[in-house]
């Protein structure tokens, strides 16, 4: 696979070369994106840490800002770098949900089904809002990105039929998140045909609609928000041609890389937590049978090495 042999020399030695077509850069996205060259990726698909929702357990984490405006401005900065590394015809698919103010609670207990919910901190209610207010953080970010120069093209509703139940008695249960589609330029690559949906009678196809009904997909290894492959797949199909390049600056367990491999696209992911990189490697290997054999032949040592160089990469 030629176009996906990513020739980004200055990433070494901090890159994990996972397959012929997927590389993981270990570190803070605020430093690591700077290593990537301009105008490189066809599309970016990502889900950043949500504000005040998860405690990833490290200093200065994005999402743990006490002031929501700082959170928005950190993400705008990160995504400005994403815009630089996107090709001029590139698109950016951003998954994010809204949140509620914490109502003055300063921590949140783990629950048996969802260990990642445990929080040692909860951000204050933003100035001007009240306890119980819905914070339109998804839209705050979308508007800030638009002001920063992005073209905001679609607000897609990801409807989750199997959403988390909530114990609330005075409002309806949240069963959706947003997937914003943005572009770097007015005109951009968009393969509309590849994601068309069937008409109700099943006899023909129509342009994909803005409400996507997709169940969440559990990932047994990860105690954090992993997005489903079915949410990522249309973004990659429409956003990058075969052998094109996809970026995920908040790679987590590597879902974007998994779908990129399945669809014959290359991918670079940035991730801060080495524990998640290990999960991503396992998932990526599971969809790359040839590589699975390589690792089996080399034994566990290769897995433990900080840098695994795949000889078939063109560096």
Ligand X SMILES: C[S@@+](CC[C@H](N)C(=O)[O-])C[C@H]1O[C@@H](n2cnc3c(N)ncnc32)[C@H](O)[C@@H]1O
**Pattern 161-200, ligand X, x by CB under 6 A:** ----------------------------------------
Residue 3 exposure: Cα atoms within 13 Å on the Cβ side: 13
Closest contact distance (angstroms) between CB of 61 and ligand X is 5
Per rule CB under 6 A, is residue 29 in the interface with ligand X?
Answer: yes
Closest contact distance (angstroms) between CB of 176 and ligand X is 16
> Which range touches ligand X (CB under 6 A), out of 160-168, 193-201, 267-275, 303-311?
267-275
For ligand X, the binding residues in 198-237 under the rule CB under 6 A are 224-227
| 222 neighbors 253 (Cβ within 8 angstroms) | yes
Question: Is the Cβ of residue 49 or residue 244 nearer to ligand X in the bound state?
Answer: 49
Which residues have C-beta within 8 Å of that of residue 71, sequence separation ≥ 6?
51, 62, 63, 65, 137
- Going across the sheet that includes 245-248, the strands are 15-17, 22-26, 266-271, 245-248, 41-46, 86-96, 176-183, 151-159, 211-213
Closest contact distance (angstroms) between CB of 71 and ligand X is 11
Closest contact distance (angstroms) between CB of 251 and ligand X is 6
Per rule CB under 6 A, is residue 270 in the interface with ligand X?
Answer: yes
CA distance linking residue 152 with residue 255, whole number of Å = 24
Residues paired with residue 17 on neighbouring β-strands, in sequence order:
23
Closest contact distance (angstroms) between CB of 77 and ligand X is 11
CA distance linking residue 199 with residue 10, whole number of Å = 48
| 195 neighbors 263 (Cβ within 8 angstroms) | no
184 — phi, psi (to 5°)?
A: -80, -30
The size of the interface with ligand X (CB under 6 A), counted in residues, is 21
- Residue from 51, 100, 276, 308 in contact with ligand X (CB under 6 A): 276
- Residue from 71, 79, 180, 250 in contact with ligand X (CB under 6 A): 250
Closest contact distance (angstroms) between CB of 279 and ligand X is 8
Closest contact distance (angstroms) between CB of 93 and ligand X is 11
**Pattern 55-84, ligand X, x by CB under 6 A:** -x----xx----------------------
Q: Cα Rg for the chain, rounded, in angstroms? A: 20
Coil, helix or strand at residue 146: helix
For 9-50, the DSSP string reads GGGTTSEEE-SSSEEEEES-HHHHGGGSPSS-EEEEEE-PPP
- Residue from 255, 260, 266, 285 in contact with ligand X (CB under 6 A): 255
Residues near ligand X (CB under 6 A) are: 28-30, 47, 49, 56, 61-62, 224-227, 250, 252-253, 255, 270-273, 276
């Amino acid at each position: 696979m030629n176009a996906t042999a990513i020739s980004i020399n200055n990433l070494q030695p901090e890159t994990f070369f996972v397959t012929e077509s997927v590389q993981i850069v270990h570190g803070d996205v605020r430093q690591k994106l700077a290593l990537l060259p301009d105008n490189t990726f066809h599309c970016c698909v990502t889900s950043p840490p949500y504000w005040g929702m998860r405690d990833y357990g490290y200093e200065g984490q994005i999402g743990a800002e006490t002031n929501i405006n700082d959170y928005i401005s950190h993400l705008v900065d990160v995504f400005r770098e994403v815009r630089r590394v996107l090709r001029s015809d590139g698109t950016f698919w951003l998954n994010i949900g809204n949140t509620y103010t914490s109502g003055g609670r300063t921590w949140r207990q783990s629950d048996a089904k969802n260990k990642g919910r445990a929080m040692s901190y909860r951000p204050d209610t933003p100035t001007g809002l009240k306890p119980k207010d819905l914070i339109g953080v998804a839209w705050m970010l979308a508007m800030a990105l638009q002001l920063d120069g992005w073209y905001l093209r679609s607000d897609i509703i990801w409807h989750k039929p199997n959403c988390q139940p909530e114990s609330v008695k005075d409002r309806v249960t949240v069963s959706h998140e947003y997937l914003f589609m943005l572009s770097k330029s007015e005109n951009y690559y968009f393969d509309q045909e590849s994601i068309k949906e069937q008409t109700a009678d099943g006899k023909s196809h129509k342009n994909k609609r803005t409400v996507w009904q997709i169940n969440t997909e559990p990932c047994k290894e990860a105690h954090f928000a992993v997005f489903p492959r079915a949410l990522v797949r249309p973004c990659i199909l429409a956003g990058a041609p075969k052998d094109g390049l996809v970026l995920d600056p908040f790679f987590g367990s590597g879902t974007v890389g998994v779908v990129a491999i399945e669809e014959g696209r290359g991918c670079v992911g940035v991730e801060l937590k080495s524990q998640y990189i290990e999960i991503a490697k396992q998932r990526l290997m599971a969809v790359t049978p040839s590589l699975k054999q390589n690792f089996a032949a080399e034994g566990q040592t290769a897995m433990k090495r900080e840098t695994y160089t795949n000889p078939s990469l063109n560096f």
